[in-house]
Amino acid sequence: MHTTYTIQMASKISGVGVHTIRAWEKRYKALEPVRDVSGHRTYTKLDIEKLMLLSELCLIGYTISKVAKLSVEELKELLKNLGKTSDELESSDFNLIHEKPKINLQETMSILIFALRNFKLDVISQELNKIKMQVSAKEMIFDLLIPLNDELSLLREKGVVSFNQESVFNALMLFHLGHHLYRSGEKRDRSNNIIVAGIEGNFIEYPLYAAGLLCSHYGLSSTFFNRSISTEALCDSLNYLEASILILNIHQNTKEHSLSQSQVLSSLEKIIDKSSPALEIAILGNIPFFSDKLSNKRIHFLNSIISLDQFLVTKAL
Based on the domain organization, do 302 and 193 belong to the same domain?
A: yes
Q: What is the pLDDT of residue 96?
A: 45
What is the Cα–Cα distance from 167 to 160, expressed in whole angstroms? Answer: 14
pLDDT tens digits, 55-84: 888 877 788 989 999 999 999 898 888 777
Q: Domain ends where: 181, 213, 233?
A: 181
Based on the domain organization, do 300 and 206 belong to the same domain?
A: yes
Q: Domain ends where: 150, 181, 212?
A: 181
Expressed as residue numbers, the domain containing 147 is 105-181
What is the Cα–Cα distance from 201 to 249, expressed in whole angstroms? Answer: 11
pLDDT tens digits, 225-277: 866 678 888 888 888 888 899 998 887 655 555 567 777 788 888 888 888 88
- Give me the number of domains the chain comprises: 3
* Residues in contact with 195: Cβ distance below 8 Å, sequence separation at least 6, in sequence order: 222, 223, 225, 234, 237, 238, 241, 243, 245, 246, 247
Q: What is the pLDDT of residue 98?
A: 39
Based on the domain organization, do 193 and 312 belong to the same domain?
A: yes
Low-confidence stretches of the chain (pLDDT beneath 50): 94-101, 184-187
Entry pTM:
0.60
Based on the domain organization, do 171 and 195 belong to the same domain?
A: no
